[in-house]
Amino acid sequence: VVSGSANVEASTRARVQQAIEDTGYKPNINARSLRSRSGQLVGLAVPQIVNEAFAHFIHFAEQEAHRMGYGLVIGNTEDDPEREQKFIDDLLSRNVDAIIFSRVSDASRLPMKARERNLPLVVIDRGIDDEDIPSIELDNVEAGAIVARLFARGGHHRVAMVAGPENVRLARERSAGFTKAAAAAGLTLQEPYVYEGSFEFETGVAAADHFLSLAERPTAVWAQCDLAAVGLMHRFVEHGLTVPDDISVVGMDNVAIARMVYPPLTTVMQPFEEFCSRAFSIIHRQLEDPSYRPEANPVVVRPSMVLRESYRNLN
Amino acid sequence: VVSGSANVEASTRARVQQAIEDTGYKPNINARSLRSRSGQLVGLAVPQIVNEAFAHFIHFAEQEAHRMGYGLVIGNTEDDPEREQKFIDDLLSRNVDAIIFSRVSDASRLPMKARERNLPLVVIDRGIDDEDIPSIELDNVEAGAIVARLFARGGHHRVAMVAGPENVRLARERSAGFTKAAAAAGLTLQEPYVYEGSFEFETGVAAADHFLSLAERPTAVWAQCDLAAVGLMHRFVEHGLTVPDDISVVGMDNVAIARMVYPPLTTVMQPFEEFCSRAFSIIHRQLEDPSYRPEANPVVVRPSMVLRESYRNLN
DNA sequence: TTGTAAGCGTTATCAT
DNA sequence: ATGATAACGCTTACAA
């Protein structure tokens, strides 16, 4: 009756249902998983939790997992391969049904283990050098390019960029996309107009100080994350400049703070929900057909511009 | 050897260790939980995920759980008793070792079930009408009071408040604390100076419009959450006022955005980490001694003022 | 259609 | 100190 077999008479079914009600019987998932080899569990690894982007991943993953009737176990890897490994081992020994990994380290042995077990695994927000593993990532080159095109169309001639860490691939891609599209539009992005830092508020503040110190200040700056963009604006305004009259600022991510600051931040939106819904649709299909692979790998999702008041055309 | 029994000769232990290495043996947590009745799991329920306060809870809970060698399963209840119930049932059937609940509904049957099973359960960020269940909450009355005292000391005479929903206890407590301490200091908080809304940015914006429409505007406003405070500032500035010269704004929570907006927001800090560390210290002790109860119930943690530039004394 | 038995990977108990 | 055996709660295969 519990497993919904068809071969059971209506009367017995009712009798059993009654007993279930009476005794408050609830199947034990762990015992079940012992036989069925399914822990009714999805694992989600993120490199950070207190960060709106990852909070979105957790939110949507929880939603999808529960919709499918699975529990969600989360692990904070902090980009530490050792923690990553421990979390993976824990998941495996719980018989997880699927894993979503945000930012796996390249050295991870996870892909191998997943293949061994034929465990659905999707990597999001960071490509992985393994063609077999489905991954979902933003078109980071395009993200940079749409900003460069905006600046060029808007008549900006001296533009600047606050880049993420050089050793992070998505930051390199964003930089390359911006630089290349800028060049294509006749804009050059020379040395003092690129400031490299981390994806944090403080980087934006420090970058603002740097740009303020230049004899020829840029008229528009793109920061590769909203927090850094907010840091830029913060220091510019503190310094007496007006955004966007004196200088335009554009961010990236479109987190909640972007619309809350004054002036509201023009930014490049990342479709966080789409990452998760696509990941789950792959997982879903893989659970039904273990040999399924997404047609395109990596699956690339597209960024889009969100125009708000922190940016203004010069022409 | 695996369970660390003493009754095993060094040579056998070595031999077994070798075999473990060779075969890559990893104990199966589900099978183990079947016998030991421990799922090596902590459950955390939150009413929302994309919200810095709850993200902090998730972060610290993950940290503590992993430190203790447990996995962390999270559930988003969305303040819906039905989802709450489903999540609880799921946890129970997984043999969770402990549950941390943020904002349980009063009607929940969880306390009963927890008692039946003698399952460590701690409620955080919201009191529960059950003396047996340890809970950890902020001294919300004090939170309101310290702001009122700040305003009074600072020479403000017309003060205002953006309150949370009347049907949420912690909002009522904050309001009561503020109003009472204000009265004690000779300040009265009359009808048009209290704006009731939700804990969101938009509430702050709407409240700003309301206060701007008054013939006699307040000189200082307290919002019961940072997002609403940021909404206030946003609209005040948009309207041409200067914060804090024309009007002081104070928030509550001390989330990251508070220091990022311009001017930086004076706010009441909630010690998010302390909620979790105290919850886990109770859980820890209860796992060792099932009869343990915290000496004080509820455990009350204290808020504190974080002074930044959005507030200014008049005297 | 229903009932019975074996086995999933552990841990605990009991002989050896 | 070691090895054998039962039991945890479930699913599956097979017998009735």
Tens of pLDDT, residue by residue over B178-195, are 999 999 999 988 889 999
Indicate if CB(A12) is under 7 A from strand D: no
User: Which residue, counting CA atoms, is nearest to the C1' of nucleotide C6?
Assistant: A35
Tens of pLDDT, residue by residue over A173-198, are 999 999 999 999 999 888 899 999 99
pLDDT surpasses 90 at B132: no
Query: Cα-flanking dihedrals φ and ψ of residue A59, to 5°?
Result: -60, -50
pLDDT surpasses 90 at B283: yes
pLDDT surpasses 80 at B174: yes
pLDDT value, residue B111 = 80
> If you average pLDDT over residues B235-249, what whole number do you get?
97
CA diameter of chain A: 88
CA distances from A236 to A160, A211, A231, A269, B191 (A): 14, 9, 9, 23, 39
pLDDT surpasses 90 at A114: no
Cβ contacts of B2 on chain A, cutoff 8 Å: none
Tens of pLDDT, residue by residue over B2-49, are 877 777 888 888 989 999 999 889 999 999 999 999 999 999 999 999
Tens of pLDDT, residue by residue over A16-30, are 998 999 888 999 999
> If you average pLDDT over residues A160-170, what whole number do you get?
95
Indicate if CB(A34) is under 7 A from strand C: yes
Tens of pLDDT, residue by residue over A23-81, are 889 999 999 999 999 999 999 999 999 999 999 999 999 999 999 999 999 999 999 99
CA A206 to chain centre: 25
Tens of pLDDT, residue by residue over B265-281, are 999 999 999 999 999 99
Tens of pLDDT, residue by residue over A128-147, are 778 889 999 999 999 999 99
Indicate if CB(A242) is under 7 A from strand D: no
pLDDT surpasses 80 at B215: yes
Q: pLDDT band at A115, cuts 50/70/90?
A: confident
Chain B residue closest to A42 (CA)? B73
Please state the pTM of the whole predicted model: 0.95
Name the more confident of B116 and B175.
B175
Query: Cα-flanking dihedrals φ and ψ of residue A21, to 5°?
Result: -60, -50
pLDDT surpasses 90 at A231: yes
- Which bases of chain D come closer than 7 Å to a protein CB? 1-3, 7-12
pLDDT value, residue A116 = 83
pLDDT value, residue A107 = 67
Q: Tell me if B31 sits within 8 A of B19, measured CB to CB.
A: no
Q: State whether B62 and A55 contact (CB < 8 Å).
A: no
Cα–Cα distance, A162 to A213 (Å, whole number): 15
Tens of pLDDT, residue by residue over A246-270, are 999 999 999 999 999 999 999 999 9
pLDDT value, residue B107 = 67
Mean pLDDT of chain A: 94
- Distance, in angstroms, between B67 CA and closest chain A CA? 11
Indicate if CB(A17) is under 7 A from strand C: no
Please name the amino acid found at residue B16: V
Bridge-based pairing of strands B220-223 and B248-253 is: parallel
What proportion of chain A, given as a percentage, has pLDDT over 90? 81
> If you average pLDDT over residues B157-162, what whole number do you get?
97
Chain B residue closest to A89 (CA)? B26
Q: State whether B56 and A50 contact (CB < 8 Å).
A: yes
pLDDT surpasses 90 at A112: no
Cβ contacts of A62 on chain B, cutoff 8 Å: 49, 74-76
Name the more confident of A117 and B257.
B257
A62 closest CA partner among A53, A51, A74: A74
Tokens linked to A104:
């796996």
User: Which residue, counting CA atoms, is nearest to the C1' of nucleotide D12?
Assistant: A35
Cβ contacts of B76 on chain A, cutoff 8 Å: 59, 62-63, 66
Which residue is associated with the tokens 């002790």?
Answer: B285
Mean pLDDT of chain B: 94
**Distance from CA(B236) to C1'(D6), angstroms, rounded:** 74
B143 closest CA partner among B131, B161, B128: B161
pLDDT value, residue B306 = 98
3-state secondary structure chain A: CCCCCCCCCHHHHHHHHHHHHHHCCCCCHHHHHHHHCCCCEEEEEECCCCCHHHHHHHHHHHHHHHHCCCEEEEEECCCCHHHHHHHHHHHHHCCCCEEEEECCCCCCCHHHHHHHHCCCEEEECCCCCCCCCCEEEECHHHHHHHHHHHHHHCCCCCEEEEECCCCCHHHHHHHHHHHHHHHHCCCCCCHHHEEECCCCHHHHHHHHHHHHCCCCCCCEEEECCHHHHHHHHHHHHHCCCCCCCCCEEEEEECCCHHHHCCCCCEEEECCHHHHHHHHHHHHHHHHHCCCCCCCCCCEEECCEEECCCCCCCCC
What proportion of chain A, given as a percentage, has pLDDT over 70? 99
pLDDT value, residue B130 = 81
pLDDT surpasses 80 at B104: no
B268 closest CA partner among B302, B234, B232: B302
Residues whose CB falls within 8 Å of the CB of residue A205, separated by 6 or more in sequence, listed in order: A231, A232, A234, A235
Please name the amino acid found at residue A3: S
